[in-house]
Amino acid sequence: MATMVEAQPERATPPTYNEITRDIAATLGNPTRGYYVLLGIVLTVLAIGVGALLYQVRFGLGKAGYTPPVMWGVYITTFVFWVGIAHCGTLVSAILYLFRSGWRTAVYRTAEAMTVFAVMTAGLFPLIHIGRIWYFYWLIPYPNQRQLWVNFKSPLIWDVFAVTTYLIVSTTFLIVGLIPDIASVRDLATGWRKKLYSITALGWRGTDQQWRHYTKAYLYLAALATPLVLSVHSVVSWDFAMSIVPGWHATIFAPYFVAGAIYSGLAMVITLLVPLRKVFKMERYITEDHFENLAKLIMLTGMIIAYAYVTEYFMAWYTGNPFERASFWNRAFGDYWWATWTMIICNAFLPFFLFFRKVRRSIPALFVLTLFVNLGMWFERFVIIVVSLSFEYEPYAMGHYTPSWVEWSILAGSFAWFFMWFLLFAKNFPTVSITEVKEILPMPRKEKAHV
């Protein structure tokens, strides 16, 4: 039987290196019954999603609720949603690393793992959306018998490059960060876990030469990931902004999408951290201060989002373009008014509660608030994509789209797919970085340091 050490009881003093290793390694032991029940629920929902997808593959895209002119629906909405969720991980792990913010160390691993799983989820949706999944490789520029190349002027191809790069680089970043931690738990583990960690630690022993190269490599990876995170959602926004659909064709889209992405990602990190902290008894490492810092970032990005909403409406009015005006009037008061107001209330009004310190430091309040932010951000993409497409230029070409049960099932399945990976990760690899939590605490000294 593979075992790990027992958790240490909570104390007020800063933890020692030994306590850090043991407390975090203790999260990896044998799962409880609750874990298997949760995994079972997740796998059931995933099976429903996969079933719906197979049904759609068998009978074609007609099983999705697409109604001309709305040919981008729940799948593209969900794609943008998951790419957005992914953004917070790289923000916390790379951007805050470059800013040298110490508090990131306790939360960055969860955020980074979330990033990788969110991109893995997002990446499925363009393939589901193309219908004939087996032709997805046409998106890749490869020498073929028709001597055709992809169209590099198309934002959809930019997307392929951006999302693929993001998946590869964020996965690399996660793995590189994990290696010293795996070595720490390797040296404590027994049974099959010892074997697993011996292989995945890639021979890490923490020698002076290893750290010498590692710290530099990590810095450069962070420096590369920082512009990447800002570019990916900009490129996703250009899928829309490069076309002439009213409600899409705006220069504000790139910063607006990046802020929205980080906003939704931060919300998802809190949604995941609250139960994780409780179950893994990580109260000593992930404190209210961490939640408050995340909440402040949510506040900042939430204000940017609120500002972008106002700007969008202002520009629609100020440009005097009748199509833009009509499109935005339709958003607020047309068929989909409920979606628009869900988005505005959840994203632009609820974050104002974060101005109260009590709310920022109340974990139940944050948990509820972030659930609403996640809901609101999904609806934001739904409004931008579906509502804009349903109400373009010609009244006779307008239409109404209602998602089908196939789309809802695949959407639910995507959440299950995401949570499945997260659950498997959380029980097998450290969700709080052992090495980085140690790094911000000074090692004991015999004599006082000469400062």
Partner 1 sequence: MSEKSQGLIAAYRHVDKAAEAIRTLKEMGYKDFTVFTPAPVHEIADAVDHKVSPVRLWTLIGGLTGVTSGFGMAIWMSYDYPIVVGGKPLGSWIPYTVIGFELTILIGAMATVTGLLVHIILTRKRAAHDPRFTNDHIGIFVDCPLERRGAVENLLRTSGADEVRFED
Binding footprint of partner 1 on the chain (CB under 8 A): 16-18, 21, 141, 147-154, 157-158, 161-162, 164-165, 168-169, 172-173, 176, 180, 183-184, 186-188, 203-217, 220-221, 224-225, 227-228, 231, 235, 435-436, 438-439, 442-447, 449
What phi, psi does 29 have (nearest 5°)?
-60, -160
Q: Which is nearer to partner 1, 34 or 147 (CB)?
A: 147
CB of 173 to partner 1, least distance (A): 8
Q: Which is nearer to partner 1, 211 or 352 (CB)?
A: 211
What phi, psi does 67 have (nearest 5°)?
-130, 120
Structure tokens at 117: 């799983």
CB of 449 to partner 1, least distance (A): 7
SS3 (DSSP) at 157: helix
Distance CA 300, CA 244 (A): 30
Q: Which is nearer to partner 1, 154 or 402 (CB)?
A: 154
Q: Which is nearer to partner 1, 154 or 319 (CB)?
A: 154
Q: Which is nearer to partner 1, 21 or 327 (CB)?
A: 21
Q: Which is nearer to partner 1, 54 or 217 (CB)?
A: 217
CB of 94 to partner 1, least distance (A): 11
CB of 1 to partner 1, least distance (A): 20
Residue for token pair 């990931």? 225
CB of 25 to partner 1, least distance (A): 9
Distance CA 262, CA 367 (A): 17
Structure tokens at 193: 């876990």
Structure tokens at 178: 């994990």
Structure tokens at 146: 């028709």
Check: CB of residue 410 under 8 Å from CB of residue 52: yes
- In this structure, the dihedral spanned by the alpha carbons of residues 165, 166, 167 and 173, taken in order and rounded to 10 degrees, is 110
CB of 52 to partner 1, least distance (A): 32
Q: Which is nearer to partner 1, 184 or 414 (CB)?
A: 184
CB of 314 to partner 1, least distance (A): 28
Q: In Å, how far are 21, 176, 449 from 446, measured between CA atoms?
A: 22, 33, 9
In 3D, which of 297, 306, 360 has the Cα closest to residue 99?
Answer: 297
